[in-house]
Amino acid sequence: MLESAKQAYQKKLVDTRATSNGLQLIYEKLCRAPIYKWLVLLLGIPVVVWIYGLFLMKRREDPYNEVFHNVKEQLDAEGVYERLVSKYITQINQKHSFFNEQVHSANVEKEAKRWADEKYTEIINWEVEKQLHASGKQRITFDHVFTELLGKRLFVLLTFVPGVLMYVLMYVFGNPYQKFIVERLAMSVFVVIGVAFFVFTILYLSPFQPAANILGESATPEQIAAFNSLYGLDQPYFVQLWNALKGIVTFDLGTSFTGNENVADSIFRRFPITMVLAVISLLMAIMIAIPIGIIAATKPNSFFDYTFMFIALIGLSIPNFWQGLIFILNFSIKLQWLPATFSPDNWLSIIMPAVVLGTALTASIARMTRSSTLEIIHEDYMLTAKAKGLSNQQVLWKHGVRNAMIPIITVIGLLFGGMLGGAAVTEKVFNISGIGSFIVDKQFIPDIPSVMGGVVYIAITISLVNLLIDVLYAFFDPRIRTKMKHY
C-alpha cells in the first residue's frame, strides 16, 4: 500500500512539473538546496512578506487537516499501529534471542513503539498525499503558494521591481552553467579572504620589525614609535587585520612602508609584466609539450619516446637561476643575439625569460600528456572505435586526445598558478620588475601592505585560472556537462 502511494504521488508530481513554467521549476529546484532557497527569500523580502500574508489567509482552507484526521481515524480503526508494534516486538525479541541476550520486556516494548511511531507517521503522510492527489487537491504551504504565484505572469510583472534581485538570482541559477560559474566565483572570494588572513597573520607574527629595518640601527625608540603610529602598527592584531581586509575589498591597499608609494599603482604596473611572461611561457610549453607527449605515447618504448622523456627529465632538473645565467652567458655575452636584461621596448628581451620559465613547465606537461594518452589508448572504447572501422588518426584525435586532456588541463592550471608566484627567481636573473620580484623584495622588511597586495592579486588570478580550468573540463568531457545539468 505504501509503495503504491509513493508511485502514484511521484507520477502526479512529474505530471505537475511538466505543466510548470521556468520560474516554477527553478524555485522547486532551489527548494532542494536550503541555502539557495533562503538566499532567494532574503533578496526578495518585500515580495516574500506579501506572499506570506496571502499564505496565512489561504491556510485556513487547507484540506490537509481534514484528510489527515480521516486517514488517522481509519488506520486506527483498522489497528495498523497495534500490528506494527506487535511486528517490531517480534523482530526485536528474535534478534536478542539469536544473540542470546537478556532484555527487559519494557525496554523491548519502548523500542518497538518508537519504531512503530516513525513507520506509522510515514504511512499516514503517504496516505494523505495519495488522497489529496486523487481528489485533485494539494496541501497549502508557503512554497506551494509561492510556486503557484510564480506561474502567473501578472504577479511577476507587478513584483519585478521590488524583487529584482530575487529574480536575477533565480535566472542565474536556472542555467546550470551560470550556476556553476557563480558558485566558483563565490568560492574564489572566500579563498582570497582566507589567503589574505593567513598572509597577514604570518607577517604579523614575523620576528622582523619594519620600523627597525627601514629606519636602521641608529633609529631611536621615539622614531620607531612614530613610524608604528604612522602606519598603524601599534594597533591590536584584529584592528590591523580588519583594516587590511577592508582595504582589499575596497581596492585601497594603502601605501608601502618603503618609498611611500601607492601599493595598488605599484601592482598595476608590475603585474601585467609577470602575466605576459607567464602566458608566453605557458603557450610555448603547450605548443611543444602536447604534440611531443602524444607522439611519445603512440610510440612507447621507442627511441623517440626515450629521447624526449630523457630531455623532459633534464628540463625538470635544471634550476631556473642556473639556466638563466647560462643563457645570458651564451646568448647575450658570447653570441650577443639577445639582450641580457628585460626591456619593455625590446620584444627580444622576453625570449630568454620565457624559455627559462617555460622549460620545467614544458617537461611536466609533456610527461603528463604521454602518461595520460598512453592510459587512454588501451581503454575498451578505443578498441571499439577501431573495430568500427575508424582510422588510427580519427581514433586518436577524436576519442583519445580529448579524453586524455582532463589531467593535462589540471596540471597546466596548477603549474600556471605556480608560475605567477614562482617567477621571482627568473625575474631577478633578468632584472624584470614583475610582481614576483616585488613580493620578494618587500617580504623581508616586512612591507605588509605591499606583500598583502601582491599575494592577493596572485590569489585572485589563480582563482580565475582555476575557474577557467573547471569550465574547460565541461568543454572536453560531456559526462561533466551532464552532471552539471543535474547539479
pLDDT above 50 for 161: yes
Task: Give the pLDDT of residue 279.
Answer: 86
pLDDT above 50 for 8: no
Structural domains of the chain in order of their starting residue, each with its CATH number: 2-173 (no CATH), 263-444 (1.10.3720.10)
The pTM for the full model equals: 0.64
Task: Give the pLDDT of residue 486.
Answer: 59
pLDDT above 60 for 18: no
SS (H, E, C) the chain: CHHHHHHHHHHHHHHHHHCCCHHHHHHHHHHCCHHHHHHHHHHCHHHHHHHHHHHHHHHHHCCHHHHHHHHHHHHHHHCHHHHHHHHHHHHHHHHHHHCCCCCCHHHHHHHHHHHHHHHHHHHHHHHHHHHHHHCCCCCCCHHHHHHHHHCCHHHHHHHCCCCHHHHHHHHHHHCHHHHHHHHHHHHHHHHHHHHHHHHHHHHHHCCCCHHHHHHCCCCCHHHHHHHHHHCCCCCCHHHHHHHHHHHHHCCCCCECCCCCCEHHHHHHHHHHHHHHHHHHHHHHHHHHHHHHHHHHHHCCCCHHHHHHHHHHHHHHHCCHHHHHHHHHHHHHHHCCCCCCCCCCCCHHHHHHHHHHHHHHHHHHHHHHHHHHHHHHHCCHHHHHHHHCCCCHHHHHHHHHHHHHHHHHHHHHHHHHHHHHHHCHHHHHHCCCCCHHHHHHHHHCCCCHHHHHHHHHHHHHHHHHHHHHHHHHHHHHCHHHHHHHHCC
pLDDT above 70 for 12: no
Total number of residues shown for the chain: 487
Q: Is 252 left (phi over 0), alpha (psi -120 to 50) or beta?
A: beta
Task: Give the pLDDT of residue 6.
Answer: 45
pLDDT per residue as tens digits for the range 22-44: 787 888 777 777 787 888 888 88
What is the pLDDT averaged over residues 190-208? 82
Task: Give the pLDDT of residue 10.
Answer: 45
pLDDT above 50 for 458: yes
pLDDT per residue as tens digits for the range 222-274: 877 887 787 777 788 888 888 888 888 777 777 777 777 788 788 888 888 88
